[in-house]
Copies of this chain bind each other. A is one copy, B any other.
Amino acid sequence: MTNPTPSPAPTLRDVAEAAGVHTATASRALNPKTRQQISAETARRVMRAAQALGYQPNSVARSLKTSRSGTVGLVIPDLTNPLFPPIVRGVESVLESDGYNVWIVNTDNDEDRERAKIESLRSRQVEGLIVATARLDHPLLRQLHEQGVTMVLINRQVEHTRIPAVTGDDATGVAAAVRHLTDLGHTRIAHLSGPLTTSTGRVRSQAFRHAVRDHGLADDLVVECAHWSESDGATAMRALLTGGARFTAVVAGNDLIALGCYDVFAERGLSCPGDVSVIGFNDMPFLDKLRPPLTTVAVPHHELGAEAARMLLDCIDQPDRPARSLLLPVSLVVRGSTAPPRPEGLP
C-alpha cells in the first residue's frame, strides 16, 4: 500500500534481452561515444527498449568499472555562513554543464570531521576536490596533495605548497578600503582582523599594515578576532574601546566582524558613521538594508567558485599541468557606514 511497486529497476541486461542483443552491444548502443560501432538499426532498437523500460544506468556499477564517478567534492566549513552558498552555486554552474555532479560537505573547520568527510568523498571516487576551508597550516591537504589527489583551493593557500588556488585579491581590497578612509580624512584607522591562523585573516591583516604605512599612518591599531563572527567582532571592538585606543575608522576583517562593531556602537551610544566609520569585507547579502548600510569590499564569490571549478576541470584533464593560482579582482562598495571624521575625533 505504501510500496505499490517496489519492482527492481531495470538493468542493462533487461534492456539487452528486450532488444535481443548482448549486454555489451546494449552498452555500446547507449553510449554516444561508442554508438558508431553499432549498426544504426540495432542502436535504435536498443534505445527504444531502454526508453520503454525506463532504463537508468546504474552509476555505482559504472563508477566501479571505470573508477570515475563524474563527481567532485566541495569542502566548506559551514553552509550557514552566507559567504559560501554563492561559491557553491558558482562551482555547480560550471561543473554541471560539463556533466559533473558536486558533493558538498561541511566540516565546521574541525580537523577530524574534515578528515572523515574527505575520506568519505575519496572512497566514493570523487575525481577532484575543491576546498574552501580556512586553516592556514593544513597537514591533511598537504598529504592529499602528495598522494596526487587533484584539488583546487578557494580563498586560501596552504603554506609551503604549490596547490592551484583561486582567491579574491584581498590585499588590493584592503588597500582600497584604507584609501577610501584616508581620502575621507581619517588618520587613525583600526583593524579588527580575522583569526591569523586563517589564510585570509593573515593576508588581510598584513595588507592593512602595509596600506596604512603607505599612507604614513600608525599600524598598531590592530586586534585579532578569535573567529570570523559577529560576537568575536564585538569582543574585539570592546577591547579596543576599553583599551582607550583613539581611532575614527575601522576596517573589519569581514562583514560579520563589522556587524559586531555595530552591536557595540549600539551598546555604547556611538554613532556610525558620525563617531566612527566602518568598512566590512565580502559584501554578503542584505548589507544595504542595514542602518547604516555597510560600506564593504565586494568579493565575487560566484566567480570564485566558477573559476575554481574551471581550474579543477583543467587539472583533471591534464594532470601534469603546472599549478596556477588565480587572483580575482574585488571592488569597494561605498555605502553609508563611512564618512569624514569629526574634527574633534572620538570622545
Contacts and interface: CB of A to CB of B under 8 A. Distances in A.
Interface in A117-146: 119-120, 122-125, 146
A227 to B, nearest CB: 16
Contact of A2 (B60, B64, B69, B323): B323
Interface stretch (A13-21, A79-87, A184-192, A232-240): A79-87
B69 A79 contact: no
A196 interface: no
A81 to B, nearest CB: 8
**Taking chain A's interface residues, is the majority helix, strand, or loop, or is none over half, making it mixed?**
loop
A262 B146 CA distance: 53
A85 B89 contact: no
Interface in A28-60: 56-60
Given A5-B146, A64-B64, A89-B106, A59 B123 contact: yes
Contact of A82 (B147, B285, B320, B321): B285
Interface stretch (A174-182, A208-216, A241-249, A286-294): A286-294
A285 B147 CA distance: 40
A64 B60 contact: yes
B120 A101 contact: yes
B64 A148 contact: no
Contact of A123 (B58, B85, B88, B321): B58
B85 A124 contact: no
Among A59, A259, A319, find the residue whose CB has the most chain B CB atoms closer than 10 A.
A59
Interface string A275-310: 000000000011001110000000000000000000
A125 B60 contact: yes
A198 to B, nearest CB: 20
A146 B5 CA distance: 7
Contacts of A57: 123
17 contacts: A2-B323, A4-B146, A4-B147, A5-B146, A6-B148, A56-B119, A56-B122, A59-B120, A60-B60, A60-B63, A61-B64, A79-B85, A79-B89, A80-B85, A92-B106, A104-B104, A286-B290
A147 B9 CA distance: 10
Nearest to A286: B286
The 9 A-B residue pairs with the shortest CB-CB distance in the complex, in nearest-first order: A291-B291, A3-B148, A6-B148, A79-B85, A59-B123, A80-B85, A60-B63, A60-B64, A289-B290
A343 interface: no
A322 B2 contact: yes
Given A58-B123, A259-B286, 13 more contacts: A1-B320, A2-B322, A4-B146, A4-B148, A5-B148, A6-B148, A60-B124, A80-B89, A82-B82, A89-B106, A262-B289, A289-B291, A290-B291
A277 B196 CA distance: 44
Contacts of A120: 59, 101
Contact of A79 (B6, B79, B289, B321): B79
B319 A2 contact: yes
